[in-house]
Structure 1
Amino acid sequence: MQVSDNGTDWRTVHSTTTANGDIDTIDVTETARHVRLHLRARGTGWGYSLHEFGVYS
Structure 2
Amino acid sequence: MGFRKPFKAVPIRLGAHYRRKARAEQRKQSLRTLAIAALVGLTIGIASVWVS
TM range (shorter): under 0.3
TM-score (norm 1): 0.18
Structure with higher Rg: it is: 2
TM-score (norm 2): 0.19
**Does 1 or 2 have the higher relative contact order (CA < 8 Å, sep 6+)?**
1
Higher strand share: 1
